[in-house]
Amino acid sequence: MSSTAKLKADEIQFGFFTVSDQVFYENSSAAAIVNLQPIVPGHVLVIPKKHYARLADVPQNDLALLFEAVQFVGKMVERAYTGDSLSITIQDGPNAGQSVDHLHVHVLPRRAGDITPNDKIYEHLEQFGLELRSMHEKQLDSDRQARTQEQMNAEAAWLRVQCQSFS
């Protein structure tokens, strides 16, 4: 999308991507979206609706709402994907592996033996960032295949139902 293009009022941007169809949960300041290349089933992102590049850029009231969303979504995807733990990470800045210039929180439901050794998740997240950078350059090359828009929309629809039934 060009920087001169106008967004519709209900469109949500994540960096250069319009991700409105991938949103399955939102509050007034944050949105949860399904992931193009999940590392584990249920790997989702929680993003501020306003563009902030880094965690330190987020005003405190928006930060509280962002982490309210992270907490709710974490509990919900852990239950929906039958996890018993969560990996919640932020790669804050390009030298930390941040692949999109828009703050985002990775939320991954975890279970015993899903990634061995367990800390290898960080290598996967680092690779995830490199793959997204390559995708920006149209050179996606990975063992994990990017999902189609239809696949992501279907998961987002299913997760919307999970959010509604989650208490």
- Which among 43, 51, 102, 104 is annotated as catalytic? 104
Query: CA-to-CA distance for 143 and 107, rounded, in angstroms?
Result: 21
CA distances for 25 relative to 11, 33, 78, 142, 165, angstroms: 14, 7, 15, 28, 12
Catalytic residue status for 136: no
Token pair for 69: 């969303």
Query: CA-to-CA distance for 83 and 110, rounded, in angstroms?
Result: 5
Catalytic residue annotation:
104
